[in-house]
């Protein structure tokens, strides 16, 4: 049985967060980087799912190309989700044309090793260890599977509560008293909906946000050995709390893109989604937005999860590998991370960078300690992830009770991971 990339215990703790914010910059000496394997104009494909010419990913790629290192990074958006771009990468690998660098979700770390053939960055070239020295130990741990470091820990996010503060005040709620538990939040939602006539809440419908509820209830999706345990009493309790506002008419499930649009237009009072969405959300709004930690469950310790991605090297020939390392070397600099943090993702490096305005709650949640996103093990991990997500959708949409849905998920995932 393939083990998870990290245990379900918090790997991002208070010391880690403080180290990210105020630690000394990494001693990253790249004098040993060799370009002997590079042609005069080596070109690599960097595959991701970020759209827009001014997206920070494009800014990073553009800044790298302006360095004239002898390597040109070609931006390729091939889908809008980790699953979509991973499937495209699999097709490219089968055709003998793998992307050089793939933006890979944390949750697919084991899959990337066993199915995509992601390389241990320390073995790609001499600069691998120096590149990794820029990143926190906890972040590097999240991309380590069975002793192999499968890339650089590029993006880190965590789910947070977004509040339209104009609507919050209009509903007569105290702006100085924001909810810390769902037991406090849900009555607030009822008041918001009644007083403003707006939709109260939208949760993301996927496997990521439910993980937070399951963990805050004391459960897990997979245990430390990678076995499905999402049908435990604790996990079921967490999922019941997750779907409660929908059952009460306070949450109408819609897609993430519809959720963002509704919030930006002022038609939605609150939403819980990735902290990394803030910059995009703010760009299209004129009202005050407040981010708070995702409310926990009363009487139970908070155990929030992280999410995001790493940049893995899938290149098969030595020149493409050396060129990929040249790009990853730049990604490890403070210059590149400052550009990347414009997304709203959290700082995974040891570079001393300021917290972007509005992101204080996300960094506070990071300081509390975050667990990894669920890492789906083995060659069929992508299928197991989809099976679990499908059962989550059935539960949310009322096609299955929470208990039956979690049992169904366990059965399906068990078959795929056997």
pLDDT tens by residue, 265-280:
999 999 999 999 998 8
Does the pLDDT of residue 20 top 60, yes or no? Answer: no
State the pLDDT confidence band at 39, using cuts at 50, 70 and 90. low
Helices (H), 10-100: 14-22, 56-65, 82-94
Residue 137: C-alpha distances to residues 88, 132, 336 (Å): 31, 9, 19
Give yes or no: residues 47 and 32 share one domain. Answer: yes
Average pLDDT over residues 33-50: 73
Band of the pLDDT at 283, cuts 50, 70, 90?
Answer: confident
pLDDT greater than 80 at residue 258: yes
Establish if 61 belongs to a structural domain: yes
- Cα–Cα distances (Å) from 383 to 37, 83, 378, in that order, read 37, 10, 10
Q: What's the total number of domains in the chain?
A: 2
Owning domain of residue 323: 14-156+308-355
pLDDT of residue 41: 81
End residue of a domain, out of 339, 355, 371: 355
Does one domain contain both 225 and 249? yes
Q: What is the pLDDT of residue 5?
A: 42
Can you tell me the mean pLDDT for 31-35? Answer: 36
- Confidence band of 21 (pLDDT split at 50, 70, 90): very low
Q: Is residue 6 predicted with pLDDT exceeding 80?
A: no
Domain membership of residue 339 (yes or no) is yes
Both 89 and 197 in a single domain? no
Residue 380: per-residue pLDDT: 93
Please state, in angstroms and rounded to a whole number, the distance separating the CA atoms of residues 360 and 322: 38
Together in a domain, 273 and 314? no
Q: Are residues 284 and 199 in the same domain?
A: yes
pLDDT at residue 33, rounded to an integer: 37
Q: Are residues 279 and 318 in the same domain?
A: no
* Structure confidence by residue, pLDDT tens digits, 285-309: 999 999 999 999 999 999 999 999 9
pLDDT at residue 3 in the model = 41
| Helix 233-247, helix 208-216: angle, nearest 10 | 120
Q: 67: domain CATH number?
A: 3.40.190.10
CB 233 within 8 A of CB 277: no
49 CB neighbour count, 10 Å cutoff = 20
Q: Which of 42-46, 121-125, 397-401 is the least confident region?
A: 121-125
pLDDT at 29 over 60: no
Which residues, listed in sequence order, are joined to residue 308 by a DSSP beta bridge?
156
Question: How is residue 305 annotated by DSSP?
Answer: E
Domain assignment present for 240: yes
Task: Judge whether 407 lies within some domain.
Answer: yes
Residue 19 in this model has a pLDDT that exceeds 60: no
What is the arithmetic mean of pLDDT over 372-377?
92
Q: What is the pTM of this model?
A: 0.86
pLDDT at 24: 35
Spatial distance between the Cα atoms of 99 and 76, rounded to a whole number of angstroms: 9
For 88-119, the pLDDT digits (tens) are 999 999 999 999 999 999 999 999 999 999 99
Reply yes or no on whether the pLDDT at 66 is more than 80.
yes
For the segment 128-137, the average pLDDT, to the nearest whole number, is 95
Task: Judge whether 9 lies within some domain.
Answer: no
Tell me: the pLDDT tens digits for 166-220? Answer: 999 999 999 999 999 999 999 999 999 999 999 999 999 999 999 999 999 999 9
pLDDT at residue 409 is higher than 50? yes
Residue 361 lies inside a defined structural domain of this protein: no
pLDDT of residue 356: 87
Least confident span in 35-49, 220-234, 392-406: 35-49
Chain mean pLDDT for the chain: 90
On whether residue 125 sits in a domain, the answer given is: yes
d(CA 151, CA 109): 9
* Same domain (yes/no): 242, 300: yes
pLDDT of 387 reads: 98
* DSSP class of 29: -
With pLDDT > 90 as the criterion, what percentage of the chain qualifies?
84
Is there a single domain that holds both residue 224 and residue 117?
no
Shared domain for 59 and 90, answered yes or no, is yes
Q: Can you tell me whether residue 64 is helix, strand or coil?
A: helix
Q: What b/e string do you get for 364-387 counting C-beta neighbours within 10 Å, with b at 16 or more?
A: bbbbbbbbbbbbbbbebbbbbbbb
Residues 56, 131: one domain? yes
Helix/strand/coil percentages in the chain, nearest 5: 45, 15, 40
- Antiparallel, parallel or unpaired: β 71-77 and 42-48: parallel
| pLDDT for residue 35 is more than 60 | no
Kindly indicate the confidence band of residue 4, based on its pLDDT and cuts at 50, 70 and 90.
very low
370 within a domain of the structure (yes/no):
no
> What pLDDT is stored for residue 136 in this prediction?
93
Residues 90 and 218 in one domain: no
- Do 320 and 266 lie in one domain? The reply is no
**Whether pLDDT at 142 is above 90:** no
């Amino acid at each position: 049985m393939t083990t998870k990339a990290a245990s379900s215990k918090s790997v991002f703790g208070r010391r880690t967060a403080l180290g990210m914010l105020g630690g000394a910059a990494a001693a990253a000496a790249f004098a040993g980087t060799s370009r002997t394997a590079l042609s005069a104009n080596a070109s690599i494909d960097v595959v991701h799912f970020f759209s827009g010419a001014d997206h920070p990913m494009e800014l990073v790629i553009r800044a790298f190309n302006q360095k004239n290192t002898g390597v040109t990074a070609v931006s390729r958006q091939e889908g809008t989700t980790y699953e979509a771009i991973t499937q495209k990468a699999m097709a490219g690998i089968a055709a003998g044309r793998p992307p050089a660098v793939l933006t890979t979700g944390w949750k697919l770390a084991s899959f990337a090793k066993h199915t995509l053939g992601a390389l241990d960055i320390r073995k790609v070239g001499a600069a691998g260890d120096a590149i990794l020295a820029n990143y926190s130990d906890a972040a590097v741990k999240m991309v380590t599977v069975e002793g192999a470091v499968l890339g650089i820990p590029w993006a880190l996010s965590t789910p947070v509560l977004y509040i339209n503060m104009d609507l919050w005040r209009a509903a007569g709620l105290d702006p100085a008293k924001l909810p810390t538990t769902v037991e406090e939040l849900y009555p607030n939602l009822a008041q918001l909906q009644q007083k403003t006539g707006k939709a109260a809440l939208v949760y993301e419908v996927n496997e990521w946000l439910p993980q937070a509820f399951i963990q805050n209830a004391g459960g897990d999706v997979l245990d430390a050995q990678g076995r499905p345990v999402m049908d435990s009493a604790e996990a079921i309790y967490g999922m019941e709390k997750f779907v409660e506002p929908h059952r009460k008419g306070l949450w109408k499930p819609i897609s993430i893109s519809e959720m963002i649009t509704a919030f930006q237009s002022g038609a939605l009072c609150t939403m819980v989604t990735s902290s990394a969405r803030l910059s995009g959300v703010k760009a299209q709004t004129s009202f005050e937005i407040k981010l708070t930690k995702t409310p926990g469950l009363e009487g139970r310790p908070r155990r929030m999860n992280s999410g995001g991605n790493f940049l893995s090297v899938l290149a098969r020939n030595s020149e493409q590998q050396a060129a990929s390392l040249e790009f990853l070397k730049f990604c490890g600099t403070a210059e590149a991370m400052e550009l990347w943090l414009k997304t709203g993702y959290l700082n995974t490096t040891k570079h001393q960078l300021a917290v972007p305005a509005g992101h204080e709650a996300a960094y506070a949640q990071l300081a509390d300690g975050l667990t990894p996103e669920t890492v789906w093990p083995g060659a069929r991990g992508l299928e197991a992830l989809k099976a679990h997500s499908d059962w989550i959708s059935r539960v949310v949409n009322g096609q299955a009770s929470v208990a039956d849905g979690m049992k169904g998920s366990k059965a399906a995932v068990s078959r795929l991971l056997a």
